Structure formats: structure tokens, C-alpha cells
Amino acid sequence: MTNTQNPLVELRNIEIAFGGIKAVDDVSVDLYPGEVVGLLGHNGAGKSTLIKCLSGAYKKDAGEVLINGKSVEINNPRDARSYNIETIYQTLALADNLDAASNLFLGREIVTKSGMLDEAKMEAETRKIMARLNPNFRKFNEPVSALSGGQRQSVAIARAVYFNAKILIMDEPTAALGPHETQMVAELIQELKKQGLGIFLIDHDVHAVKQLCDRAAVMKNGQLVGVVKVDEVTEDDLLAMIILGRKPEHLAA
């Protein structure tokens, strides 16, 4: 990842308040192509609220959102998708009784000229995208309830990428996964980076952020503590930022 490119996303001086209480207070963060930026903080720090103004779940009260250098208004998830922003929530929003192809095209099904579901085409397209993202995926004809956590993540990510996501929001993608599954998700994220996607990764686990992210934006009480390159800090440094609300001394200048 190189910052000689223009940012995919710039969140500038974002403020979001609920009942007069500022959940997000003058926060600025950017995201570049092929980069993963982790949003770290305790529950209530404001990280999820901040990113929901990008996904269209919340409206900002002040500040500016820029996509590819252009100021945009995102008032709902449909607006977000029009700017190639897709969100993968921790719950994944998959229909457990349906297979991978049916989930990938859920609500956006391919139909034949006669108006029938084109199941063969949807399965072929699903196999094509999964070959790019997770070549070891084989369970195309089983309901996703039968899949492992990492495989379910594969399906959710494939759905976003197939529909041309350029900016991906991931909510704790390795929560409750074992080491093997976590490694699978890490490999998926590396593949997305190679394809030039930018990823905002919301988490409170410093180990996951160190493993998966290029930079970390730490929030506390609705404010931005700082943005650091993960290879320049230790897990203890990140924990100190979360708890104490200040950058490590060697990066404070």
C-alpha cells in the first residue's frame, strides 16, 4: 500500500450526536486503495457510530465525507452502495437455509428471459468469484448453516466483491473464530487488498488489528486519540491508547 495514491475515503471533522451527547466529536480518518484501517476502542468509544455515517445507517450532524476526492451525501444504505461501499456485519446477514449462490444473489437474483430464476448462472458466477477469493471453497450446494465461520465470511465477502465493492466495512470479522478460521479470513483480506479494495475494520481486539491492519485509528469517548501504523507500535502501545487516550511517546511528536 502506498499513500502516493488519492484516498478512497476521507472522513473530515465528523460529528454525530444523540440527545445532545456527542457520540463522535470532530473525527477525521482516511482510507487508501489496498489498505486496511482498523478502528479500535472500547464499546461506546464511537468507532461503530463513526463508520455508520459511511454505511448510511446514521446521518452525520457535521463534517464532510469524500469518496475519491468528491464530497458526497450518504443518507441511507442505498446511497452507500451507489458509491461502491458495502458493509459486512458481524452477524453476516446470511440466510442459513440457503446455499452460497442463493445468498450471494439474495435480493439481486439473476433471471432468465422468461422470468425464471437462473440458478445455473448464479452458481457459475458464485464459483467464479469464490475461485478468486477462496479457491479451497467446495460446499456450493449446502446451506450456509453447514459452513464454518471462515467459510461463511467467504460467502459474505464474495457477495460484496461481486457487486463491485471498492470500500468494505468489516465488523469484527474474526470474532469467535479459531486460529485456522482466523487465518482464512486474513488470507481473504490480503486478496482483497491485492485487488485494490480499501477496508475499514471495526474491532476492539488489538491482536486482530495488529494481524490484519496497516493502520489503526484509536477512539476514546467519541474522540480520535490518533492514527498509527501498526508496524510502528506494539499491542501494549495500542492498549495504552485505548485506555489512556493518548499516543505512545515515541509517536507523540
Q: What is the pLDDT of residues 184-231, one digit of tens each?
A: 888 889 989 998 999 999 998 899 999 999 999 999 999 999 999 999
Q: Which among 84, 93, 110, 212 is positioned nearest to 152, based on CA atoms? A: 93
Q: What is the pLDDT of residues 133-161, one digit of tens each?
A: 888 888 999 999 999 888 888 898 898 88
Cell of 45: 468509544
Cell of 43: 464499546
CA distance 216 to 219: 10
CA distance 249 to 251: 5
List the domains of the chain with CATH numbers: 19-251 (3.40.50.300)
In the predicted model, is pLDDT for residue 109 greater than 50? Answer: yes
Question: Which pLDDT value is given to residue 51?
Answer: 93
CA distance 19 to 209: 32
The mean pLDDT of the chain is 90
Question: Which pLDDT value is given to residue 128?
Answer: 93
Question: Which pLDDT value is given to residue 252?
Answer: 64
CA distance 148 to 198: 25
Phi, psi angles (nearest 5°) of residue 67: -115, 120
CA distance 197 to 109: 24
Using 50, 70 and 90 to split pLDDT, how confident is the model at 253? low
